[in-house]
Amino acid sequence: MISEKLVKVGMADLNTASNGEFLKTTGLGSCVGITLFDPEKRIAGMAHVMLPSSSIARETPINVAKYADTAIPELIKRMLALGAVTSKLQAKMAGGSQMFSLPGHTDSLRIGPRNVESCALMLEEYRIPLLSQDTGGNYGRTIELDSSNGVLSIRSVQHGIKEI
């Protein structure tokens, strides 16, 4: 891939791409990489979601890309500004691993599964179909979305590369 066609998405960040650009984020452990794609306009979006709900935010102003319930609406808004159509959007996601488990600490350490659930609920709210996902497990992932075709490549040390 040519570096000028790469749009990086950092942790608690989001961005859009078109014209054959690639969106890429690394370090998905319990975080979820949620991607949206308009196949007709070939406009793509990616958010690196760290936490399920902005109701726990302590920062002011909040980083909307950090939380599932604020990142997805913001990503949709940015994609619409580029010409995407909400009814055409399709979603894929990866990440949401259970990176740590300690006896007696059930819900507080379920950040990964809760991130996946929150992202899925937001997609339902906007009636955006979730076409595919590679979530769960206990390993990290790097993802890359091709804005020319909506293919999501997922890399992990344990499982190599797969495309969804």
Task: Supply the residues annotated as catalytic.
Answer: 31
The amino acid at residue 36 is L
Cα(122)–Cα(67) distance, integer angstroms = 11
3 by Cβ neighbours in 10 Å (0-12 / 13-18 / 19+) ranks as: exposed
The Cα–Cα gap between 68 and 62 comes to 12
Which structure tokens are listed for 128?
């955006």
Residues 6 or more apart whose Cβ sits within 8 Å of residue 162: 134, 153, 154
Distance CA 111, CA 150 (A): 27
Cα distance between residue 16 and residue 68, in whole Å: 16
